[in-house]
Amino acid sequence: MKTLFLTLRIFSATGGIEKVCRIMGKALYEESLENQGVLQVCSMYDKQQDAFHNAYFPSENFKGFSINKLQFIAETVYSSRKYDRIILSHINLLPVGWLIKKFFPRTKLILLAHGIEIWFPVISYKRRMLRACDKIIAVSNFTKSQVSKLHGVPAQRIEVLNNCLDPFLQLPSESKKNKELLQKYGFNESDTILMSLTRLASRERYKGYDKVIEAIANLQNRYYGIKYFIAGRYDNKEKLFVENLAKKLEMKNIVLPGFIPEEELKEHFAMSDVYVMPSRKEGFGIVFIEAMYYGVPVIAGNIDGSVDALLNGELGQLVNPDNVEEIAKAIENIIKNKTAFIPSRKVLTDHFSYEAYKKKLEQVITFNPVNYN
């Protein structure tokens, strides 16, 4: 099979979708080698040099268009005649896929559906474009249900493929908390450190960090060593909101370090006792499985794709993201007996390893198109 994988960004950003694209690119490249196929990856926004020396697939299999949208559209549509299947990394690439399907109707068209970007009704012409896809790959069962319900896509045309752990993830150099890191943030070894990793912005408040602050405020008089570490970029307005909320609730033990480079995250996970992010709009939540990979107990919301990441509660605690008392209870459970909530490494890797992902991906993208219209 000859595969053309179209992305918006893949190397020039560090978000969850970009991470998914890098891992999928690696899996598709390896699948092409094993089956004597061909893979070409094209990015609308990346520069060609962004792919140099990347660990996922050869830069020779990549072309970056440096935000030249017209060139990207023209070249990818024209060259698609040489490929058996086209994979779109995002719904914003749907017009390109639709054009390809119009010119070359026998080409298989596959769309990745991540989360919030596809959870809302779309205008009629984009709805028709969605139905032109031969298959939609949803990262969670929740996303699958939203795509089917909101866009009228037959459920049998949607496959669930959960995201996986990055195959290049490394364990921390030490099993104990890094003393220098603790000192940097003013923590003690005896503290119970709760961590969230998210952008601080009003549009990101659905991640639930405000509810976590309220929950900690309810617990801090009984458990004096609770500290809340919210890592990630922030805008000044939202930083002020968080600080004012903490002040109002007399919750002093909160640290906002800002952006942390990806290569340093493993030591920050290892420093933490709990990863808590009771989100209401998570497509899947790669950060959950990464936290669990480092042996950190996880608390997540029970109304979105987080349910898949925690295997319906087998790997961590699922809570109502709007119920502060429920969040506080989940935190208290871990404080009282952390060992009981450390996720099973075997269960985690059985379901979310790169090897398991690659095997399922090959099954999902190997199919004969069926006309459901």
The DSSP string of 148-171 is HHHH---GGGEEE------TT---
Q: How far apart are CA 290 and CA 80, in angstroms?
A: 35
Kindly list the structural domains of the chain, giving each domain's residue range(s) and its CATH number in brackets, ordered by start: 2-164+353-365 (3.40.50.2000), 179-352 (3.40.50.2000)
- For 219, residues 6+ apart whose C-beta sits below 8 A from its C-beta are 226, 328, 331, 332, 335
The DSSP string of 79-97 is HGGG-SEEEESSGGGHHHH
Lowest mean pLDDT, pick from 146-160, 163-177, 241-255: 163-177
Q: Is the pLDDT of residue 371 over 70?
A: no
- Three-state DSSP state, 282: coil
Tell me: the pLDDT tens digits for 12-27?
Answer: 988 899 999 999 999 9
Q: Is the pLDDT of residue 111 over 90?
A: yes
Residue 323 tokens read as 């119920």
> What DSSP character marks residue 343?
P
Tell me: the pLDDT tens digits for 266-312?
Answer: 999 999 999 999 999 999 999 999 999 999 999 999 999 999 999 99
What pTM did the predictor assign? 0.94
